[in-house]
Amino acid sequence: MNVSGIPLDATVSSVVREDGWSVSRRSRHPILVTLRDVLPAQPPDVHNIEEDYYLWRNEVNEPPSPFLLSRLWTSLYQEPPRVSWYKAVWFGKQIPKHGFILWLVMKERMVTRDRMRSWGLDVAAECLLCGQNEESTEHLFFQCDYSLTVLRTMFARSGIDIPTQIAMVVPWIISIRLDRKLKTICKLLIQAAVYFIWK
């Protein structure tokens, strides 16, 4: 027996009565509440001689259909809207640890000194690399003299001007008029620079 009072090896016919399901209507136990919510209002005809079969509902508002794991996944975990910068961060040839750090930068989730101070930690506000301006994600990776020197040195021979704001990285990558391989190299360079500046 379990909280429902129904034996574990019970059949559907053993819990069907003429007036409905044989499930306690008074109990507020979470399992019983869930069970009452999912049982159909009209019990099946237990005297029917038709062979039993399984039905699966891939989505709540759709009729039963064959089970599909991919459909179950999307019904449980809805795909979030795509952000403008996903092509700059996630692409085929990327180095995962470099992509991950750039992803944190784009989400403004790096543990920079301005964030630590906002949490009430007693840390110096100045950038660890240049010691002049307040350290923030924007400053540390794209405006600090040290970081700009690193980025400009990496692109020095290409004649390509790199952005100095996080918001401009994606439009810059999209607008570069280069063939696919060179564009991939630019993405890899930006990701590597951000990764090693943080490291």
Orientation of helix 180-198 relative to helix 145-154, angle to 10°: 150
Angstrom distance (rounded) from CA 96 to CA 74: 25
Query: Would you say how long the chain is, in residues?
Result: 199
Angstrom distance (rounded) from CA 73 to CA 65: 15
- Is the pLDDT at 21 greater than 90? The verdict is no
In a domain, 5, yes or no: no
In a domain, 166, yes or no: yes
In a domain, 81, yes or no: no
Tokens 């923030």: give the residue: 136
Kindly give, in sequence order, each residue whose CB lies less than 8 Å from that of residue 60, ignoring residues fewer than 6 positions away.
75
- Is the pLDDT at 57 greater than 80? The verdict is no
Residue 186 and residue 136 share a domain = yes
Q: What pLDDT, on a 0 to 100 scale, did the predictor assign at position 60?
A: 72
Q: Is this structure's pTM higher than 0.85?
A: no
Residue 129 and residue 72 share a domain = no
At 55, which amino acid appears?
Answer: L
Residue 155 and residue 61 share a domain = no
Residue 103 and residue 19 share a domain = no
Contact predicate 183/173, CB 8 Å: yes
Residue 47 and residue 109 share a domain = no
3-class DSSP state of 37: helix
In a domain, 3, yes or no: no
Q: What pLDDT, on a 0 to 100 scale, did the predictor assign at position 49?
A: 81
In this prediction, what percent of the chain has a pLDDT beyond 70? Answer: 98
As a three-state string, the secondary structure of 45-105 is CCCCCCCCCCCECCCCCCCCECCCHHHHHHHHCCCCCCCCCHHHHCCCCCCHHHHHHHHHH
In a domain, 2, yes or no: no
Kindly give, in sequence order, each residue whose CB lies less than 8 Å from that of residue 182, ignoring residues fewer than 6 positions away.
176
Angstrom distance (rounded) from CA 177 to CA 171: 12
Q: What pLDDT, on a 0 to 100 scale, did the predictor assign at position 74?
A: 80
Residue 105 and residue 53 share a domain = no
Q: Which domain holds residue 57?
A: 12-76
In a domain, 134, yes or no: yes
Query: What's the rounded mean pLDDT across residues 186-198?
Result: 93
In a domain, 1, yes or no: no
Residue 91 and residue 67 share a domain = no
User: Which position has the higher pLDDT, 55 or 118?
Assistant: 118
